[in-house]
């Protein structure tokens, strides 16, 4: 999310070709201390939002779009004229009501129960579970939106959700014991897991949480369980949420580097950490709104779950309580127990003798239990699921692994295979991406558009589907997002570094011989866009470049040891650069407007590079329904006109193949971790052509939690952990 762009390539046509140099984030700057943040709302005292408690517990809740979503006309790849768009928007149609996808639990009985027991008897030994077992899952660290191979370590969101479904119907599972520790994922995944916890409770089986270290995300999940336990020495940090942004403008200025970044959209803050020394008013407004959404949602859900008033929960947070005893007194946790005491309590509840061992099955082993064993097989109708996770690039880097980001050429291959196949009735594109290469995003958009012309396509968003991620989603017929999915950010960014002052300080010289009027537009990094001189001196800022600035320029030339004839000014370079970026932005915006059946003027109001929370995006027509993958499946059934109670078979087209590091992970996981981080770092340092549709490198402390924003820091941490 935090990749900063550096562009340097030569092209004679009015297109901009950037290169990624590296991801840099300095020590975060906390928003409340930023003087430019004019919002009167503190991040710890959120805007008074309407009471949405009952909505957040219902997967059927949605903000229907004011405009119906249509796929592009397959007859032409070009954008329709403004008049044609307005005519289509003028054709008012009824807002489509989408099914909720809420789980309806039905106990297995009769003949089906006998068949399930028979399947359990003939199952492989590694798929067998003792009767009366407790499913234990440790939710901590990173949670991937992708499927994991059998050799992979870490947690997978699809597998976590499937385990909850299997455990609800498995007669051998008596209940679930969750260990919830600090999570490193976005709020979209947290919402999805919480929904499956609530669905599991419909089975009548118990589910309890144990939280030795707890922040807002961890407690958000725990309060969905029936009981919450914590050890007396537990770390609780329920102090509120913060959002942080870093700025390197002052640092780069001191070392003689001048970033020249072209951002289209007043809210498009990608590049601000390079060019600015403090937060812009627009960025502050956007981040404050996002923070208020997440914090307000947290207060609503927690207060509803614990049967408290929102004001009481907020007051408790503002007291800065850290004592576990106080949390118990106020009813935030059930009791104070160590892990072994909770297990003893479970043994007593299940009638297990004290000297006997409680039968427990962990996440990894239970993941091997097939749904077929439990009679949860799908139907004859096939729905393809294509998962797109990570930063977007057009082609795979030689250093990248099979699971590193979204590679357009691979996703396109999968999309085409689904389009050409008659097996699949519908397709779900699962997106969890902050964006990336604009060209790659557009190529995938085109293929999704063609796919949507032949069969229903539903876009399901995870933690984030912004910039290039939203670019992909808007080609689908229906877009589904979580309440707190970060989405939108319709805008582009491009630019280069002017290294003239740095070169002067280190005594480096570079001379360029070129042919073609704009050949040096991005090739000459030793000067700004609009300055050309043969004798390297001190670079002149573009603010001096204008037809009316002759006197100032001549005065400067007289001051510095330059020959006037060695200096030439090219305002047309900066003009071309800006026009190229504007053209890329207009294509993005206009496609978004047509995809969402929205006038361009209306789309412009919600574009401008602004990031929206899912529920706000839905109320503004950028998203059709609120929910997770289960709701996307329900909508797909609705589109292909089959009953909601009829099972379907999901075909995952992004199943990973085990890599050598994954196979060897059991031998030296820490060494593999260092190797993986080195590869990620080197990959970030490689060059990639293309205008970027990328969300800003925002760091959400206790809010978004992406530690890999700075690969160097990750490398150091992995190295230290391996010692």
Sort strands 435-437 and 406-407 into parallel, antiparallel or unpaired.
unpaired
Sort strands 692-694 and 435-437 into parallel, antiparallel or unpaired.
antiparallel
**Mapping DSSP to helix (H, G, I), strand (E, B) and coil, where does residue 303 land?**
helix
Say which residue the tokens 């809010």 belong to. Answer: 703
DSSP string, 541-609: -GGG-STT-HHHHHHHHHHTT--GGGEEE-HHHHHHHHHHHHHHHHHHHHHHHHHTT--HHHHHHH-TT
Which residues are bridge partners to 634 per DSSP? none
Query: What's the token pair of residue 189?
Result: 């995944």
What is the sign, positive or negative, of the torsion defined by CA atoms of 469, 471, 472, 475?
Answer: positive
Query: What's the token pair of residue 251?
Result: 């640092």
- CA 123/CA 372 separation, integer angstroms: 10
- CA 594/CA 51 separation, integer angstroms: 33
Angle (CA) 316 317 318, round 5°: 90
- CA 242/CA 593 separation, integer angstroms: 33
Q: Would you call 722 a catalytic residue per the annotation?
A: no
Q: From the candidates 467, 530, 654, 665, which is the catalytic residue?
A: 467
- CA 7/CA 496 separation, integer angstroms: 5
Helices 310-318, 281-305: crossing angle, 10 deg rounding: 120
Helices 669-685, 711-721: crossing angle, 10 deg rounding: 160
CA nearest to 41, candidates 236, 240, 190 = 240
Contact 634, 98 (CB under 8 A): yes
- CA 637/CA 644 separation, integer angstroms: 6
Three-state SS annotation for 600-653: HHHHHHHCCCCEEEHHHHHHCCCCCEECCHHHHHHHHHHHCCCCCCCCCEEEEC
Residues marked as catalytic: 467
């Amino acid at each position: 999310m935090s990749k900063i762009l550096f562009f340097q390539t030569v092209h004679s046509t009015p297109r901009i070709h950037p290169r990624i140099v590296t991801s840099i984030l300095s020590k975060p700057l906390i928003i409340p201390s930023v003087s430019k943040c004019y919002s009167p709302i503190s991040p710890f005292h959120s805007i008074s939002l309407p009471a949405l408690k009952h909505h957040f517990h219902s997967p059927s809740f949605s903000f229907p779009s004011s405009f119906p979503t249509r796929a592009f006309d397959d007859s032409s790849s070009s954008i329709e004229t403004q008049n044609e768009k307005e005519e289509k928007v003028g054709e008012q149609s009824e807002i489509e009501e989408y099914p909720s996808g809420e789980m309806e639990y039905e106990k297995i009985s009769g003949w089906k129960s006998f068949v399930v027991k028979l399947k359990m008897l003939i199952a492989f030994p590694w798929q067998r579970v003792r009767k009366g077992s407790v499913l234990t899952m440790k939710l901590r660290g990173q949670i991937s939106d992708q499927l994991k191979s059998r050799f992979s370590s870490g947690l997978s969101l699809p597998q976590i959700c499937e385990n909850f479904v299997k455990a609800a119907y498995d007669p051998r599972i008596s209940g679930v014991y969750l260990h919830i520790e600090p999570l490193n994922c976005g709020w979209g995944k947290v919402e999805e897991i919480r929904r499956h916890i609530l669905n599991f409770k419909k089975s009548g089986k118990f589910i309890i949480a144990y939280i030795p270290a707890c922040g807002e995300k961890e407690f958000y999940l725990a309060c969905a369980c029936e009981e919450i336990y914590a050890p007396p020495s537990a770390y609780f940090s329920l102090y509120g949420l913060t959002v942080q942004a870093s700025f390197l403008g002052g640092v780069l200025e001191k070392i003689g580097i001048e970033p020249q970044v072209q951002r289209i959209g007043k809210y498009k803050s990608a590049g601000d950490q390079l060019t600015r020394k403090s937060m812009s008013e627009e960025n502050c407004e956007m981040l404050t709104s996002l923070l208020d959404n997440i914090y307000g949602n947290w207060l609503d859900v927690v207060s509803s779950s614990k049967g408290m008033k929102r004001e009481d929960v907020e007051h408790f947070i503002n007291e800065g309580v850290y004592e576990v005893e106080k949390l118990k007194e106020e009813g935030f946790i059930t009791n104070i127990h160590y892990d072994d005491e909770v297990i003893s309590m479970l043994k007593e509840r299940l009638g297990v003798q004290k000297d006997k061992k409680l039968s427990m099955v962990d996440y990894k082993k239970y993941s091997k239990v097939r749904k077929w064993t439990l009679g949860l097989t799908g139907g004859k109708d096939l729905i393809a699921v294509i998962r797109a996770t990570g930063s977007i690039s057009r082609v795979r880097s030689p250093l990248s692994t099979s699971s590193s980001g979204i590679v357009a050429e691979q996703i396109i291959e999968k999309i085409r295979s689904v389009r050409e196949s008659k097996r699949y009735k519908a397709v779900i594109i699962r997106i969890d991406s902050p964006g990336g290469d604009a060209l790659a995003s557009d190529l995938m958009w085109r293929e999704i558009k063609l796919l949507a012309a032949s069969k229903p396509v539903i876009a399901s968003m995870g933690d984030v589907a912004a910039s290039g991620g939203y670019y992909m989603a808007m080609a689908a017929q229906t877009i589904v997002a979580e309440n707190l999915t970060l989405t939108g950010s319709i805008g582009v960014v491009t630019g280069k570094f002017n290294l003239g002052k740095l070169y002067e300080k280190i005594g480096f010289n570079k001379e360029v011989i070129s042919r073609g009027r704009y050949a040096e537009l991005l090739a000459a990094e030793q000067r700004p866009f609009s300055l050309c001189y043969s004798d390297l001196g001190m670079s002149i800022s573009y603010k001096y470049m204008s037809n009316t600035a002759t006197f100032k320029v001549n005065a400067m030339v007289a001051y510095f040891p330059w020959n006037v004839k060695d200096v030439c000014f090219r305002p047309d370079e900066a003009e071309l650069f800006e026009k190229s970026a504007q053209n890329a932005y207009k294509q993005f915006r206009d496609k978004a407007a047509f995809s969402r059946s929205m006038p361009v003027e209306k789309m412009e109001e919600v574009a401008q590079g602004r990031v929206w929370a899912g529920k706000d995006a839905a109320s503004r027509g950028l998203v059709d329904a609120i929910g997770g993958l289960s709701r996307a499946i329900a909508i797909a059934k609705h589109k292909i006109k089959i009953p909601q109670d009829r099972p379907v078979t999901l075909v995952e087209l992004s199943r990973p193949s085990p890599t050598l590091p994954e196979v060897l992970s059991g031998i030296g996981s820490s060494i593999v971790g260092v190797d993986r981080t080195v590869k990620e770092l080197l990959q970030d340092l490689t060059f990639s052509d293309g205008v970027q549709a990328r969300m800003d490198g925002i760091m959400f402390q206790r809010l978004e939690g992406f530690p890999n924003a700075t690969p160097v820091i990750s490398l150091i941490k992995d190295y230290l952990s391996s010692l």
